[in-house]
Amino acid sequence: MHCFVYASQRKADTYLWLPRRDDFSSLPESLILLLGDLRFVLEVELSGERKLPHEDAQQVIEHLRDQGWHLQLPPRETLAAANHPAYRSSLRQDDGEE
**What confidence tens digit (pLDDT) does each residue in 79-88 have?**
555 565 555 5
Distance CA 93, CA 98 (A): 9
Report the predicted TM-score, pTM, of the whole model to 2 decimal places.
Answer: 0.74
pLDDT tier, 56 (very low <50, low <70, confident <90, very high otherwise) = confident
Q: Once rounded to an integer, what is the mean pLDDT over residues 31-35?
A: 91
For residue 38, the one-letter residue type is: L
Share of the chain above pLDDT 90, in %: 60
